[in-house]
Chains A and B, each alone.
Chain A
Amino acid sequence: MITLGHYIVLSVLLFGIGVFGILTRRNAIGILMSLELIFNAVNINMVAFSKFLTPDLVYGELFAIFIIAVAAAESVLGLAIILAIYRKKQTVNADEMNIMKY
């Protein structure tokens, strides 16, 4: 029997790995991909809570679908910004992007 705690612990571990990736990666693409891990941790939480606590409603799943859509939009814009910065500065490392510090 899988309980709600199983899903939440899995989601917390995935969240921790994502936070570690965001804090340590130099590559901006790697930071964006770690962000996707955090979104997925949240989605697991949403669907698990919706299934276990309100089994006859689907609000958690609707929220997960909205999160997926917004994450796709965010990923597209982030990668476009990274590509624009790469054309100007020839780098994708987050600690070398100081173009706003004039």
Chain B
Amino acid sequence: MALIIFYCMAVLILISAILMVTSRNIFHSALYLAATLFGVAGIFVLLNSYFIAGIQVLIYIGAVVVLSIFVINLTKKITGENIPQFNKQIIPSFIVAAIAVVLIILAVLKTDWFKRISGGTIAAMDNTAIIGKQFLTDFIIPFEVVSVLLLAALIGAIVLVAKDREDEK
């Protein structure tokens, strides 16, 4: 049963990712990206990581995709019919990506994961409480550093976008 759900989610992720990369309209691309991220949230649910699935939906679909759509709508005249959306390196890029994928998959299939580290049973429990406890005890300094990083990104974005408007006055 779980395997069927996994394959449905994998098909959703891969098909919408391929459509996102190859779509000519950048707005459609953003919508396919939202579908891909939703599928990844489903994968997290299958892995019993409900908290990460929640913040995946909240932050990625709710913030990053919406922000991308805002910027797409603010930059007009970029999806015309005669404006090429891809550069001239499609075939070399495909070869590079395919070689990387094939090599990593071969390496993964050759490795016997469960002989190296004992255990190997998936923990079928919700670990949101453990994550919260770890954040406020062992990982308190990285947690605070990330909050400072987010503040710096906020200020940096405001400075970058607002500078031009002062020049025009």
Contact = CB atoms under 8 A, between A and B. Distances in A.
B78 A27 contact: yes
B78 A82 contact: no
Contacts of A75: 64, 67-68
A12 B21 contact: no
A88 interface: yes
A25 B87 CA distance: 6
A52 B161 CA distance: 44
B85 A30 contact: yes
B40 A29 contact: no
Interface string B42-56: 011011110110011
Contacts of A82: 71, 75
Interface of A: 1-2, 4-10, 12-21, 23-27, 29-30, 32-34, 36-37, 40, 43-44, 47-48, 51-56, 58, 61-62, 64-66, 68-77, 79-84, 86-88, 91-93, 95
